[in-house]
Amino acid sequence: MRLYDRTFASRLMLGTALYPSPAAMREAIVASGAEIVTVSLRREAAGIGKGGPGFWDEIRDLDLAFLPNTAGCHTVKEAVTTAQMARELLDTDLVKLEVIGHADTLQPDVFGLVEAARILIGEGFKVLPYTTEDLVVAERLLSAGCEVLMPWGSPIGSGLGLNNRYGLRSLRAQFPDVTLIVDAGLGRPSHAADALELGYDGVLLNTAVASAADPVAMARAFRLAVEAGRIAFEAGGMEPRDMAAPSTPVFGKGVLA
Protein backbone atom coordinates (compact mmCIF):
# COMPACT_ATOMS: atom_id res chain seq x y z
CA MET A 1 0.00 0.00 0.00
CA ARG A 2 1.54 3.27 -1.13
CA LEU A 3 0.98 6.51 0.79
CA TYR A 4 2.75 9.31 -1.06
CA ASP A 5 6.46 8.41 -0.96
CA ARG A 6 6.14 5.51 1.50
CA THR A 7 5.15 1.89 0.91
CA PHE A 8 3.69 -0.42 3.56
CA ALA A 9 3.37 -4.20 3.47
CA SER A 10 0.13 -4.22 5.46
CA ARG A 11 -3.08 -2.89 3.92
CA LEU A 12 -4.79 -2.59 7.31
CA MET A 13 -4.61 0.53 9.45
CA LEU A 14 -5.97 0.66 12.99
CA GLY A 15 -7.25 3.43 15.21
CA THR A 16 -6.22 3.70 18.85
CA ALA A 17 -9.47 4.75 20.56
CA LEU A 18 -11.92 2.78 22.73
CA TYR A 19 -9.62 -0.07 23.78
CA PRO A 20 -10.16 -1.28 27.35
CA SER A 21 -6.47 -0.74 28.19
CA PRO A 22 -3.13 0.20 26.62
CA ALA A 23 -2.08 -3.45 26.87
CA ALA A 24 -5.14 -4.61 24.91
CA MET A 25 -4.49 -1.95 22.30
CA ARG A 26 -0.88 -3.05 21.93
CA GLU A 27 -1.74 -6.73 21.57
CA ALA A 28 -4.44 -5.99 19.02
CA ILE A 29 -2.12 -3.85 16.90
CA VAL A 30 0.51 -6.57 16.90
CA ALA A 31 -2.06 -9.24 15.99
CA SER A 32 -3.40 -7.10 13.13
CA GLY A 33 -0.03 -6.76 11.47
CA ALA A 34 -0.79 -3.05 10.97
CA GLU A 35 2.18 -0.77 10.33
CA ILE A 36 0.22 2.47 10.71
CA VAL A 37 -1.93 3.60 13.64
CA THR A 38 -4.09 6.68 13.80
CA VAL A 39 -3.95 9.05 16.74
CA SER A 40 -6.52 11.70 17.60
CA LEU A 41 -4.55 14.58 19.04
CA ARG A 42 -7.69 16.30 20.34
CA ARG A 43 -8.93 13.20 22.14
CA GLU A 44 -5.68 12.33 23.86
CA ALA A 45 -4.86 15.92 24.74
CA ALA A 46 -8.27 16.25 26.37
CA GLY A 47 -7.85 13.00 28.29
CA ILE A 48 -10.95 11.48 26.69
CA GLY A 49 -9.26 8.31 25.53
CA LYS A 50 -8.98 5.27 27.80
CA GLY A 51 -5.27 4.95 27.28
CA GLY A 52 -4.25 6.82 30.40
CA PRO A 53 -0.70 8.00 31.04
CA GLY A 54 0.81 4.93 29.37
CA PHE A 55 -0.91 5.55 26.05
CA TRP A 56 1.93 7.31 24.23
CA ASP A 57 4.59 4.99 25.62
CA GLU A 58 2.69 1.93 24.41
CA ILE A 59 2.41 3.28 20.87
CA ARG A 60 5.95 4.58 20.60
CA ASP A 61 7.33 1.27 21.83
CA LEU A 62 5.74 -0.51 18.87
CA ASP A 63 7.86 1.49 16.41
CA LEU A 64 4.99 2.07 13.97
CA ALA A 65 4.12 4.93 11.66
CA PHE A 66 1.80 7.51 13.20
CA LEU A 67 -1.13 8.90 11.25
CA PRO A 68 -2.49 11.80 13.30
CA ASN A 69 -6.06 12.73 12.49
CA THR A 70 -8.19 15.81 12.94
CA ALA A 71 -11.14 13.90 14.42
CA GLY A 72 -13.71 16.13 16.05
CA CYS A 73 -12.93 19.17 13.91
CA HIS A 74 -15.95 20.90 12.37
CA THR A 75 -14.29 23.90 10.72
CA VAL A 76 -11.38 24.46 8.38
CA LYS A 77 -9.55 26.51 11.00
CA GLU A 78 -9.91 23.78 13.63
CA ALA A 79 -8.67 21.09 11.27
CA VAL A 80 -5.69 23.07 10.01
CA THR A 81 -4.61 24.11 13.52
CA THR A 82 -4.95 20.54 14.83
CA ALA A 83 -2.87 19.20 11.94
CA GLN A 84 -0.17 21.77 12.60
CA MET A 85 0.00 20.81 16.28
CA ALA A 86 0.09 17.11 15.39
CA ARG A 87 3.06 17.63 13.09
CA GLU A 88 4.97 19.36 15.86
CA LEU A 89 4.13 16.65 18.41
CA LEU A 90 4.55 13.52 16.29
CA ASP A 91 7.13 14.74 13.76
CA THR A 92 5.25 13.56 10.67
CA ASP A 93 3.84 15.27 7.60
CA LEU A 94 1.16 12.61 7.19
CA VAL A 95 -2.30 13.61 8.39
CA LYS A 96 -5.74 12.06 8.11
CA LEU A 97 -7.87 15.10 7.44
CA GLU A 98 -11.40 15.17 8.86
CA VAL A 99 -13.75 18.14 8.64
CA ILE A 100 -17.07 16.96 9.99
CA GLY A 101 -20.19 18.52 8.53
CA HIS A 102 -23.09 16.62 10.09
CA ALA A 103 -23.34 15.89 13.80
CA ASP A 104 -25.49 12.75 13.56
CA THR A 105 -23.91 10.90 10.63
CA LEU A 106 -20.43 12.44 10.99
CA GLN A 107 -20.49 12.93 7.23
CA PRO A 108 -17.56 15.01 5.99
CA ASP A 109 -18.06 18.65 5.09
CA VAL A 110 -16.65 18.18 1.61
CA PHE A 111 -16.47 21.92 0.91
CA GLY A 112 -14.40 22.59 4.02
CA LEU A 113 -12.42 19.42 3.37
CA VAL A 114 -11.19 20.62 -0.02
CA GLU A 115 -10.30 24.03 1.40
CA ALA A 116 -8.40 22.57 4.37
CA ALA A 117 -6.61 20.07 2.13
CA ARG A 118 -5.42 22.84 -0.17
CA ILE A 119 -4.06 24.84 2.79
CA LEU A 120 -2.26 21.89 4.38
CA ILE A 121 -0.74 20.64 1.13
CA GLY A 122 0.54 24.16 0.58
CA GLU A 123 2.30 23.83 3.94
CA GLY A 124 3.96 20.56 2.97
CA PHE A 125 1.53 18.10 4.54
CA LYS A 126 0.75 14.73 2.96
CA VAL A 127 -3.00 14.71 3.33
CA LEU A 128 -5.23 11.64 3.53
CA PRO A 129 -8.74 13.13 3.36
CA TYR A 130 -11.73 11.38 4.94
CA THR A 131 -14.33 11.94 2.26
CA THR A 132 -17.43 10.55 0.60
CA GLU A 133 -17.50 8.44 -2.55
CA ASP A 134 -18.53 11.47 -4.65
CA LEU A 135 -16.56 11.62 -7.92
CA VAL A 136 -16.64 15.41 -8.17
CA VAL A 137 -15.30 15.84 -4.64
CA ALA A 138 -12.59 13.31 -5.45
CA GLU A 139 -11.56 15.37 -8.49
CA ARG A 140 -11.36 18.51 -6.34
CA LEU A 141 -9.22 16.81 -3.71
CA LEU A 142 -6.84 15.42 -6.31
CA SER A 143 -6.60 18.84 -7.94
CA ALA A 144 -5.74 20.29 -4.54
CA GLY A 145 -2.74 17.93 -4.40
CA CYS A 146 -4.01 14.88 -2.51
CA GLU A 147 -2.48 11.60 -3.68
CA VAL A 148 -4.62 9.39 -1.43
CA LEU A 149 -8.39 9.38 -0.89
CA MET A 150 -10.23 7.79 2.02
CA PRO A 151 -13.94 7.42 1.18
CA TRP A 152 -16.25 6.20 3.93
CA GLY A 153 -17.87 2.79 3.79
CA SER A 154 -20.68 3.99 6.05
CA PRO A 155 -20.97 6.37 9.04
CA ILE A 156 -18.16 6.24 11.60
CA GLY A 157 -18.73 3.57 14.23
CA SER A 158 -21.90 2.23 12.57
CA GLY A 159 -20.55 -1.17 11.52
CA LEU A 160 -22.83 -1.14 8.46
CA GLY A 161 -20.11 -2.06 5.99
CA LEU A 162 -20.16 -0.77 2.40
CA ASN A 163 -23.39 1.21 2.08
CA ASN A 164 -22.80 2.34 -1.50
CA ARG A 165 -21.02 -0.36 -3.42
CA TYR A 166 -21.92 1.26 -6.74
CA GLY A 167 -20.34 4.55 -5.69
CA LEU A 168 -17.22 2.87 -4.33
CA ARG A 169 -16.88 0.73 -7.44
CA SER A 170 -17.28 3.80 -9.66
CA LEU A 171 -14.64 5.67 -7.68
CA ARG A 172 -12.19 2.80 -8.09
CA ALA A 173 -12.87 2.60 -11.82
CA GLN A 174 -12.57 6.36 -12.32
CA PHE A 175 -9.23 6.64 -10.52
CA PRO A 176 -7.37 3.37 -11.13
CA ASP A 177 -3.95 4.78 -10.24
CA VAL A 178 -4.91 6.63 -7.04
CA THR A 179 -4.45 4.99 -3.64
CA LEU A 180 -7.97 4.48 -2.26
CA ILE A 181 -8.63 3.39 1.32
CA VAL A 182 -12.06 2.63 2.76
CA ASP A 183 -12.33 4.45 6.06
CA ALA A 184 -15.18 4.16 8.57
CA GLY A 185 -18.18 1.92 9.03
CA LEU A 186 -16.51 -1.49 8.73
CA GLY A 187 -17.94 -3.75 11.42
CA ARG A 188 -16.93 -7.25 10.35
CA PRO A 189 -13.92 -8.84 8.69
CA SER A 190 -16.13 -9.67 5.70
CA HIS A 191 -16.67 -5.93 5.15
CA ALA A 192 -12.91 -5.43 4.90
CA ALA A 193 -12.56 -8.36 2.50
CA ASP A 194 -15.36 -6.86 0.41
CA ALA A 195 -13.50 -3.54 0.12
CA LEU A 196 -10.28 -5.24 -0.94
CA GLU A 197 -12.14 -7.41 -3.46
CA LEU A 198 -13.44 -4.20 -5.06
CA GLY A 199 -9.83 -3.23 -5.68
CA TYR A 200 -9.32 -0.82 -2.81
CA ASP A 201 -5.76 -0.52 -1.60
CA GLY A 202 -6.51 -0.75 2.09
CA VAL A 203 -8.91 -0.16 4.97
CA LEU A 204 -8.85 1.86 8.16
CA LEU A 205 -10.96 0.84 11.13
CA ASN A 206 -11.15 1.17 14.89
CA THR A 207 -14.43 0.39 16.66
CA ALA A 208 -14.89 -3.10 15.22
CA VAL A 209 -11.64 -4.23 16.82
CA ALA A 210 -11.43 -2.04 19.93
CA SER A 211 -15.01 -2.78 21.05
CA ALA A 212 -14.94 -6.52 20.35
CA ALA A 213 -15.22 -8.95 23.24
CA ASP A 214 -11.75 -10.15 22.24
CA PRO A 215 -9.93 -7.29 20.43
CA VAL A 216 -6.85 -9.39 19.75
CA ALA A 217 -8.77 -12.19 18.05
CA MET A 218 -10.82 -9.68 16.04
CA ALA A 219 -7.67 -7.87 14.93
CA ARG A 220 -6.28 -11.17 13.68
CA ALA A 221 -9.53 -11.88 11.84
CA PHE A 222 -9.38 -8.52 10.06
CA ARG A 223 -5.78 -9.16 9.11
CA LEU A 224 -6.70 -12.43 7.43
CA ALA A 225 -9.75 -10.88 5.75
CA VAL A 226 -7.70 -8.08 4.24
CA GLU A 227 -5.12 -10.51 2.94
CA ALA A 228 -7.83 -12.77 1.48
CA GLY A 229 -9.64 -9.85 -0.14
CA ARG A 230 -6.51 -8.61 -1.87
CA ILE A 231 -5.56 -12.07 -3.11
CA ALA A 232 -9.08 -12.53 -4.47
CA PHE A 233 -8.94 -9.20 -6.30
CA GLU A 234 -5.60 -10.03 -7.88
CA ALA A 235 -6.82 -13.51 -8.82
CA GLY A 236 -9.80 -12.05 -10.68
CA GLY A 237 -13.17 -13.05 -9.23
CA MET A 238 -16.08 -14.24 -11.33
CA GLU A 239 -18.85 -11.79 -12.21
CA PRO A 240 -22.41 -12.45 -11.00
CA ARG A 241 -24.79 -14.13 -13.46
CA ASP A 242 -28.55 -13.86 -13.82
CA MET A 243 -28.97 -17.53 -14.78
CA ALA A 244 -27.57 -20.79 -13.52
CA ALA A 245 -24.51 -22.18 -15.27
CA PRO A 246 -23.75 -25.88 -14.68
CA SER A 247 -20.26 -26.67 -13.47
CA THR A 248 -20.53 -30.22 -14.85
CA PRO A 249 -20.59 -30.38 -18.67
CA VAL A 250 -23.67 -31.99 -20.20
CA PHE A 251 -22.03 -32.83 -23.56
CA GLY A 252 -21.76 -36.57 -23.94
CA LYS A 253 -24.08 -37.32 -21.03
CA GLY A 254 -25.45 -40.83 -21.16
CA VAL A 255 -29.15 -41.16 -21.88
CA LEU A 256 -31.19 -44.22 -20.89
CA ALA A 257 -33.69 -45.25 -23.55
Which residues are known catalytic residues?
Answer: 96
User: Residue positions in the annotated binding site for 1-deoxy-D-xylulose 5-phosphate?
Assistant: 157, 184-185, 206-207
User: Contact at 8 Å (CB) between 109 and 100?
Assistant: yes
DSSP 13-66: EE--SS-SSHHHHHHHHHHHT-SEEEEEHHHHHTT-SS-GGGHHHHHHHTT-EE
* 98 vs 116: CA distance, rounded Å: 9
**Do the Cβ atoms of 153 and 186 come closer than 8 Å?**
yes
Phi first, then psi, for residue 153 (nearest 5°) are -85, -40
Q: For residues 77 and 101, what is the distance between their CA atoms, to the nearest angstrom?
A: 14
